[in-house]
Amino acid sequence: MPTMLFLVFIGNHSIFYQWNQSVRKHFCMHPQRFVELHCTNPARIFGLYPRKGSLIIGADADILVWDPQREHTIRAATHHMRTDYNLYEGLRVRGAPTQVYQRGKLLVDGARWLGQAGQGRYLHRGSGAPVL
């Protein structure tokens, strides 16, 4: 089963919907461009690049391993967030992460959460970041 690597920047379920609409369903975007728009470009806009949005020595190594063929139904009960709802609740999509690494350590393996509450870090925007 093919997989591809995404540099994680966003952390919500809109990525599933956007992947299905722009890459898989309508074929209007190459997967590499999808990664640029959803990972690399936001990191640049918010002054976090190259710490975020790149795979280079010294970067945080936050990586999402993506299976573009995996089908699943989005459910609030199965995501790893402190909310009891999901805007995309019940939506059947193709494409899902198989593993998530935070700073190089395995955080999510399949549906299993391996992380600990509070291990995230607040990142200040870079001083040269543009204001939107």
Q: Which two tokens stand for residue 18?
A: 């956007």
pLDDT in tens, 38-62: 888 888 888 888 888 888 998 887 8
pTM of the model: 0.74
Which candidate, 18, 110, 98, places its Cα nearest to that of 66? 98
- Let me know: does 98 contact 66? Beta carbons within 8 Å: yes
pLDDT in tens, 2-46: 455 555 444 567 888 888 888 888 778 998 898 888 888 888 888
* In this structure, CATH architecture of domain 4-113: Roll (2.30)
Domains of the chain, by residue range, sit at: 4-113
